[in-house]
Amino acid sequence: MSTAENQVRTIGLPAFFARYQEPIDVALRAELDGLTLPLYETHRYYMGWTDVDGSPSSNAGGKRLRPTLSLLAAEAAGGEPEKAMPVGISLEYVHNFSLIHDDLEDQDRIRHHRPTVWAVWGESTAIVSGNAMLKIADRAMRRLSDHGVSPDVILQAQHSLTANYLRMMEGQYLDIQFESLPSITVDQYLDMIERKTGALIETAVFLGSLVGRPGGPDREFSAGLRSVGYELGRIFQIRDDVLGVWGGQETGKPVGADIQRKKKALPAVHALNMATGASKDRITEIFAKDELDGDDVEDALQVMEELQTQNYCQSLAEERWLRARGVIKSLELAGDTARDLEDLGEFLLVRTS
């Protein structure tokens, strides 16, 4: 299916997100029950449940992609989605911990059209808020025993989660390091996103199927689903990088936002590696400057236009999706979950926010 066909077909989130939304929200909120220090108000705010003053908010709070994938994977394995809820809740808190710190590291004052934690409460509070959220994530995993998951599987799940949020931190380190390098290769970029973004998405699918399967884990089956998650993580970040340069107002960022920050995301990596002659000189000069002005951003966008950088990024994402779809078709997935995963892949290819 072509990208144009996808754009017609998948405008919003796939329909299966709706069937998990309410139970995920209830479980996420339950992890903060009884926690009354103002520290936890930063969490309720960041999750989208309250405004800065603590009053209830109608903010959507994000897609909840990772817990949704955990529950879907459990269902794909023939189990009850609820059994994988502790995995999904833990991953969502790990994800939001990383975003709180990411906002501070990048000095981003806005996320999801709202001020970030550090912009409201200060840098020190944002560090503590993120750290506390990570420990809430660890605590959430204990509820696997309440769902009848065996101790040995719980231990494996906890080990996998810890190993993969360490991978996520490694990816964040590499992302920061790349900003000071004159250029990086596509392979270096792909290694970074497999850690920073892919680790948690891959883990959501793997652990959801591992703990959710009736009668105990089928590790070969879970490994197959894990490879689907691996590709979905790459697609998600590649599309995120496209939106960071060309996304416009629907993303809450101006066009050229990642260029302005000299971020070595895929569009910049492609342009720095593929430009020649005067274009090569200009794009190299732009990313070597301490600060960029409007002309620099426009010139960088022009170089990317000449190189058809956006088409390159999209084709790379579509290549990953072809691999993932092949694995989906090879697995015996329960119910309509194969179609759900296909809908998700097609949505990720063309999402606009």
Model confidence over 266-321: pLDDT tens digits?
Answer: 999 999 999 999 999 999 999 999 999 999 999 999 999 999 999 999 999 999 99
Task: State the pTM of this model.
Answer: 0.92
In this predicted structure, what is the pLDDT of residue 249? 53
Helix (H) or strand (E) holding 115: strand 114-115
Domain ranges of the chain: 7-48+56-350
Q: Which residues contact 82 (CB under 8 A, 6 or more apart)?
A: 23, 71, 147
In this predicted structure, what is the pLDDT of residue 4? 38
254, pLDDT greater than 90: no
Average pLDDT, integer, range 144-172: 95
pLDDT band of 87, cuts 50, 70, 90: very high
Q: Which residues contact 29 (CB under 8 A, 6 or more apart)?
A: 49
pLDDT band of 251, cuts 50, 70, 90: low
pLDDT digits (tens, 9 = 90+) for 34-60: 999 999 999 999 999 999 999 999 876
Q: What value, to the nearest 5°, has the Cα angle with vertex 280 and ends 277 and 283? A: 150
Q: Which two tokens stand for residue 148?
A: 């009848």
10, pLDDT greater than 60: no
7, pLDDT greater than 90: no
What is the CATH code for 7-48+56-350?
1.10.600.10
pLDDT band of 184, cuts 50, 70, 90: very high
248, pLDDT greater than 90: no
In this predicted structure, what is the pLDDT of residue 3? 41
Give the chain's mean pLDDT: 92
Q: Which residues contact 281 (CB under 8 A, 6 or more apart)?
A: none
